Structure 1
Amino acid sequence: MTREQKVAKKELARRVRETTAGRFFGFVLESIEPGSAVMKLRVRPHHLQVYEVVHGGVIAALADTAGGLATYMSTPRGTRVATVEMKINFLEAVEKGTVRATAHVLRRGRNLAVVDCDVRDAKRLVAKALMTFAIGSGQRLPEQTRENKSRSAAHAGKKNAAIEKIDKSRL
């Protein structure tokens, strides 16, 4: 891994931790290389649906995040990527434990990338996703200016309070 890729890895891990979705779901970037990423999620009560298994949308969001990061790492640093299509098969129900999404870029062109993702618990393949990501042409992620940081921090504070309230109500 090059020095620039190491810097990008740290930046991505921080961004995952700081996004509202990343905090709410509890996504953790476990490993990342050019064209691949592994995300993990420790199952919590607020991930469960009415039948007390992890909601499919949570698993899909985990796969989508891993796929987006794998795609991002296959492009010049700062290039925007966005999901344009996702197909997922849910193969097994997950009640507890940790799930990992392992995403690999199958093919990357100038404008699109096709990504495969396996989601597993400790013993089983629980979901399989195939995604297509658009690759921005020279668009870069917004820089973290002082103004953006303070606005993000204020927004994060409100969201954290809401997330904590949900967590407490689910216990």
Structure 2
Amino acid sequence: MTSTAPEVRWRAGDPAPDFTLPDTHGTPVHLADLRGEPVLLVFFPFAFSGICTGELCELRDNIEDFESAGVRLLAVSTDPVFTLKAWHEQEGFGFDLLSDFWPHGAVADVYGVFDPASGHALRGTFLVDADGIVRWSVVKSRGQRRDLEAYREALAEI
């Protein structure tokens, strides 16, 4: 099977699409309410899977890079809230996991990172500035990890 990189729908300079999704406690998180601080949106396919666990644990282990840049980290998947809560408790993530379960993948779809054939989000990342503008984005093909150094380079630009 040949894998090509997905098309990035939202690019630097575009307004970030607004959304409201529940966190692991069922509390709604509204992107527009976070204006005034930069936000890194990290879409991922599945909780408890190998690459996703590796990527999010790497972010957890380097959370000070994001905190020192004043960036709020939000990780989003199409998993249900209860799955994300169990994973969050197991891994001790220091950032919010948001559920895009229902309507299934609606936010991932708006951001251009929903794969309807498999029903999950692709590995897409969007750095949104304090004014709600996308400043950097990357989308990886299935099975490809995101690079922590690329995150650091993007943070340096904000």
Same fold per TM (> 0.5)?
Answer: no
Higher strand share goes to which structure?
A: 1
Greater relative contact order structure (CA < 8 Å, 6+ sep):
2
